């Protein structure tokens, strides 16, 4: 979490940095701060709250300078206030640092520095790091570049940092380990951008260098960046081409990114399947699968590791891989997997699912699986992200930047890729009939149109959500392919509206949650027609018999559920394994409209950050 951005070049740094912070605000919004270097002075402004609060705080002050660093914080060590906000300075105020990550051994380092007479203003681990760098620089009389490398060799933990020095206006030092860092390369080395992701500089340059773990970079105007790793070996600079348009980073007339991203799904699904399913929809090819067929076909089992919404996509993936490929699949929370002493070896294929590709637990699970010899397949959205780079192969979901904290289009992209993955393997294993295979591929191709149709119910869902803003609790039920969807619907509602919501497999309701049912506890049932539809009908009867209010998602033409439920939303017919990709749209819209009506900050819900880069 936390977003960092730095600039050096000919432009005024302040507007570039503030705009960059706005783009990174999805990573945390507890406090914000900026340091600007100008005429051998360093002006630092920090405040609790959002980037907009920082702008108000800075208004009227000196913002001159062509170089600076800025930070938006998701608090880990120390409460969100101005003192704990970044940038943090060395005691003599010569060095300023911004940091995303956690220095795990900061207390030990702090005690050692205190013994040397260092004092601290904040409760943060970051201040310890900048003081350590200062201590090394002063005592070894070395350059900032060398001091940073020496300091980082003593650090345990995760970091993406940028450091500047008063009076040294042509140079920024940056480094990373386990937290992402990208460098935007201006023309002829005349300007450079450093940021947690490419969004702050995508409008200025399309050349990017992704720093690797334990690499430290020295950026100087007019020079090619110098990158060394912590054992002092110089690395080659690998400049990649960035393919991102500005419109992908803006709301495009929508009041929130979340609504924009929900509405983008017909296009993002199209982008996700483009070039992968042939025109008559008779074949699907994923290069990540085709290039590693031997490994994938001989897998004894698949283990899917993920967190949050990506974990829900993984549950749908399990159902599909088991049904169509007849290989056992385990779905694990990455945070549990990494600490549960898992039985994994070279006969296993681990699939890591992550929108950001930076989730700390998922990344650690990938590294653990690799260390045990498993082959690791990544399903990520962010191109060049840490998980994408750490896996043996994989498939990008290609849904474009997802900025709303609540994941929407990434979920449908992940399920789409998992479907194509299952189809590729099932075909090679001959565990699926030609008819079913082609039916599912045709179904995948029809998804954009079906989603467009469902998006037209937006106003109806808005009216429906107005009825339920009173609720303090919500139950979501689904079975089979729709059970993970119940979990996802509940997660969407709780994270952006703060209404408590539980997702359950419908039949499990009788084993406990049914005790909660009364006229104040609404239930959202996903009851589209599938192989266990009749069972779901019985579950709805059980809720109605206890006075519960029911909203049901049904397939067009449904008679039974429609006569029982209080409110229904009709979905177009689609093969049951693909139904979650269509049925999640009303769940996303329902959560969105309830949150809006309750006046919540939909894109930046409290306490959350988009990219969870701490464990």
Of 192-200, 257-265, 335-343, 403-411, which part binds ligand M6R (CB under 6 A)? 403-411
Q: Is 344 in the site for ligand M6R (CB under 6 A)?
A: no
Task: List, as one string, the DSSP characters of 2-62.
Answer: -EEEEEESSS-HHHHHHHHHHHHGGG--SEEEEEEEETTEEEEEEEES-HHHHHHHHTTS-
Least distance in angstroms from the C-beta of 126 to ligand M6R: 23
Q: Contact between 94 and ligand M6R (CB under 6 A)?
A: no
Q: Which residue number is nearest to ligand M6R in terms of Cβ? A: 308
Closest contact distance (angstroms) between CB of 251 and ligand M6R is: 18
The answer to whether residues 455 and 477 touch, using CB atoms and an 8 Å cutoff, is no
Question: Is 2 one of the annotated active-site residues of the chain?
Answer: yes
Scan residues 118-147 and list those touching ligand M6R (CB under 6 A): none
Residue 101, preceding peptide bond in cis (omega within 30° of 0) = no
403 touches 257 (CB < 8 A): yes
CB of 90 to ligand M6R, least distance (A): 34
Least distance in Å: CB of 491 to ligand M6R? 6
Tokens representing 432? Answer: 């699926």
**Is the separation of the CB atoms in 189 and 223 below 8 Å?**
yes
Q: Which of residues 585-614 bind ligand M6R (CB under 6 A)?
A: 611-612
Query: Measured from the CB atom, is 308 or 586 closer to ligand M6R?
Result: 308
Our finding on whether 310 is near ligand M6R (CB under 6 A) is yes
Phi-psi region of 275 (alpha: psi -120 to 50; beta: other; left: phi over 0): left
439 neighbors 267 (Cβ within 8 angstroms): no
Catalytic residue among 48, 260, 492, 610: 610
Confirm or reject binding of residue 356 to ligand M6R (CB under 6 A).
Answer: yes
C-alpha to C-alpha distances, 277 to 283, 286, 412, nearest whole angstrom: 6, 9, 17
Q: CB nearer to ligand M6R: give 113 or 307.
A: 307
Residue with tokens 């996903």: 526
Q: How are strands ordered across the β-sheet holding 157-165?
A: 88-89, 95-103, 157-165, 171-177, 215-220, 226-229, 234-235
Q: Closer to ligand M6R by CB, 21 or 380: give it.
A: 380
Q: Which of 407, 529, 536, 604 binds ligand M6R (CB under 6 A)?
A: 407
- The stretch near ligand M6R (CB under 6 A) out of 8-16, 79-87, 401-409, 585-593 is 401-409
From residue 138, alpha-carbon distances to 10, 92, 94, 161 in Å are 30, 11, 11, 20
**Stretch near ligand M6R under the rule CB under 6 A, chosen from 320-328, 402-410, 454-462, 509-517:** 402-410
Which residues, numbered 486-525, are part of the site for ligand M6R (CB under 6 A)? 491, 495
- Minimal distance, residue 564 CB to ligand M6R, in Å: 31
Would strands 95-103 and 88-89 be described as parallel, antiparallel, or unpaired? antiparallel
Beta carbon of residue 86, minimum distance to ligand M6R (angstroms, whole number): 22
- By CB under 6 A, the residues from 526 to 565 that bind ligand M6R are none
Largest CA distance in the chain: 81
User: Count of residues binding ligand M6R (CB under 6 A)?
Assistant: 16
Q: Which of 2, 272, 577, 584 is catalytic?
A: 2
Rounded distance between C-alpha atoms, residue 189 and residue 219, angstroms: 9
List the one residue out of 562, 521, 559, 573 whose CA is nearest residue 543: 521
Q: Which range, of 17-25, 117-125, 308-316, 317-325, touches ligand M6R by CB under 6 A?
A: 308-316
Cα angle for residues 526, 528, 534 (degrees, 5° grid): 95
Is residue 86 within 8 A of residue 46, CB to CB? The reply is yes
Integer angstrom CA distances of residue 231 from 131, 150, 226, 386: 22, 10, 14, 21
Smallest separation (angstroms) from ligand M6R to the CB of 612: 5
CB distance 488 to 411 below 8 Å:
yes
Among 309, 506, 529, 588, binds ligand M6R (CB under 6 A): 309
- Contact region for ligand M6R (CB under 6 A) — 145-153, 179-187, 215-223, 404-412? 404-412
Q: What is the DSSP string of 409-432?
A: HHHHHHHHHHHHHHHHHHHHHT-S
The residue (of 309 and 536) whose beta carbon lies closer to ligand M6R is: 309
Here's the x/- map for ligand M6R, 182-201, by CB under 6 A: it reads as: --------------------
Shortest distance, CB of residue 335 to ligand M6R, whole angstroms? 10
Minimum CB separation of residue 306 from ligand M6R in Å reads: 6
Stretch that binds ligand M6R, among 262-270, 301-309, 456-464, 501-509 (CB under 6 A): 301-309
**Contacts of residue 375, Cβ cutoff 8 Å, sequence gap at least 6:** 292, 295, 296, 299, 346, 348, 349, 350, 392
**Region of 124-132, 353-361, 436-444, 563-571 interacting with ligand M6R (CB under 6 A):** 353-361
406 binds ligand M6R (CB under 6 A): yes
Identify which of residues 389 and 442 has a Cβ nearer to ligand M6R in the complex. 389
Can you read off the two tokens belonging to residue 498?
């703060």
Q: Answer yes or no: 341 catalytic.
A: no
User: Minimum Å distance from CB 430 to ligand M6R?
Assistant: 33
Sign of the torsion angle spanned by Cα atoms 442, 443, 447, 450: positive
Taking CB under 6 A as the criterion, the residue among 100, 362, 391, 529 binding ligand M6R is: 362
Q: Which is nearer to ligand M6R, 122 or 309 (CB)?
A: 309
User: 335, 354, 416, 419: which one contacts ligand M6R (CB under 6 A)?
Assistant: 354
Of 309 and 529, CB closest to ligand M6R: 309
Contact 70, 20 (CB under 8 A): yes
- Selected from 124, 359, 523, 604, the binder of ligand M6R by CB under 6 A is 359
> 408 or 555, CB closer to ligand M6R?
408
Kindly give the interhelix angle for 434-455 and 579-597, rounded to the nearest 10 degrees: 20
The contact set with ligand M6R (CB under 6 A) reads 307-310, 354-356, 359, 362, 405-407, 491, 495, 611-612
Would you please indicate which residues are annotated as catalytic (active-site) residues?
A: 2, 610
């Amino acid at each position: 979490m936390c977003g960092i951005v730095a600039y050096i070049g000919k432009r005024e740094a302040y507007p570039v940095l503030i705009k960059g912070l706005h783009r990174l605000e999805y990573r945390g919004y507890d406090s914000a701060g900026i340091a600007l270097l100008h005429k051998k002075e360093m002006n630092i402004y920090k405040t609790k709250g959002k980037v907009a609060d920082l702008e108000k705080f800075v208004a009227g002050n000196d913002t001159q300078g062509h170089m600076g660093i800025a930070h938006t914080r998701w608090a880990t060590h120390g409460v969100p206030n101005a003192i704990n906000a970044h940038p943090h300075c060395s005691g003599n105020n010569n060095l300023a640092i911004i940091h995303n990550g956690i220095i795990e051994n900061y207390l030990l380092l702090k005690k050692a520095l205190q013994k040397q007479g260092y004092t601290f203003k904040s409760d943060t681990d970051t201040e310890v790091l900048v003081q350590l760098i200062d201590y090394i620089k002063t005592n070894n009389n070395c350059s900032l570049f060398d001091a940073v490398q020496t300091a980082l060799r003593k650090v345990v933990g995760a970091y993406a940092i940028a450091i500047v020095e008063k009076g040294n206006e042509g140079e920024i030092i940056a480094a990373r380990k386990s937290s992402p860092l990208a460098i935007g390369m201006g023309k002829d080395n005349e300007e450079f951008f450093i940021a947690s992701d490419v969004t702050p500089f995508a409008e200025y340059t399309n050349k990017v260098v992704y720093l690797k773990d334990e690499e430290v970079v020295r950026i100087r105007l007019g020079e090619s960046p110098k990158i060394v790793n912590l054992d002092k070996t110089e690395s080659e600079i690998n400049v990649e081409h960035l393919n991102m348009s500005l419109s992908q980073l803006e709301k495009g007339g929508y009041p929130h990114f979340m609504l924009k991203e929900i509405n983008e799904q017909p296009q993002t699904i199209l982008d996700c399947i483009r070039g992968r399913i042939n025109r008559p929809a008779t074949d699907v090819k994923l290069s990540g699968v085709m290039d590693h067929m031997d490994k994938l076909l001989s897998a004894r089992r698949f283990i899917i590791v993920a967190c949050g919404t990506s974990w829900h996509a993984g549950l749908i993936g399990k159902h599909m891989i088991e049904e169509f490929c007849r290989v056992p699949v385990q779905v694990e929370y990455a945070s549990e997997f990494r600490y549960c002493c898992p039985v994994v070896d070279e006969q296993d294929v681990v699939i890591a699912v992550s929108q950001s590709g930076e989730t700390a637990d998922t990344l650690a699970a990938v590294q653990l699986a690799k260390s045990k010899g498993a082959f690791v397949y990544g399903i990520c959205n962010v191109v060049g992200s840490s998980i994408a780079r750490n896996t043996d192969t994989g498939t990008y979901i290609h849904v474009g930047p997802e900025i709303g904290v609540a994941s929407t289009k990434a979920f449908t992209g992940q399920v789409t890729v998992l479907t194509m993955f299952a189809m590729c393997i099932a075909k090679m294993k001959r565990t699926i009939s030609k008819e079913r295979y082609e039916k599912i591929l045709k179904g995948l191709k029809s998804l954009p149109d079906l989603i467009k149709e469902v998006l037209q119910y937006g106003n109806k869902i808005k009216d429906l959500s107005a009825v339920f803003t009173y609720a303090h609790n919500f139950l979501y039920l689904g079975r089979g392919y729709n059970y993970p969807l119940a979990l996802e619907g509940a997660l969407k509602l709780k994270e952006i509206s703060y209404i408590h919501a539980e997702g359950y497999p419908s039949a499990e309701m009788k084993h406990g949650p049914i005790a909660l049912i009364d006229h104040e506890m609404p239930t959202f049932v996903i009851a589209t027609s599938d192989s266990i539809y009749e069972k779901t009908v019985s579950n709805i009867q059980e809720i109605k018999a206890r006075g519960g209010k029911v909203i049901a998602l049904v397939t067009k033409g449904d008679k039974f559920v429609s006569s029982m439920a209080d409110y229904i939303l009709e979905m177009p017919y689609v093969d049951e394994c693909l139904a979650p990709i269509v049925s999640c749209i009303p769940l996303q819209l329902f959560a969105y409209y309830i949150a809006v009506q309750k006046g919540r900050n939909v894109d930046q819900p409290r306490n959350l950050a988009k990219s969870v880069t701490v464990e």
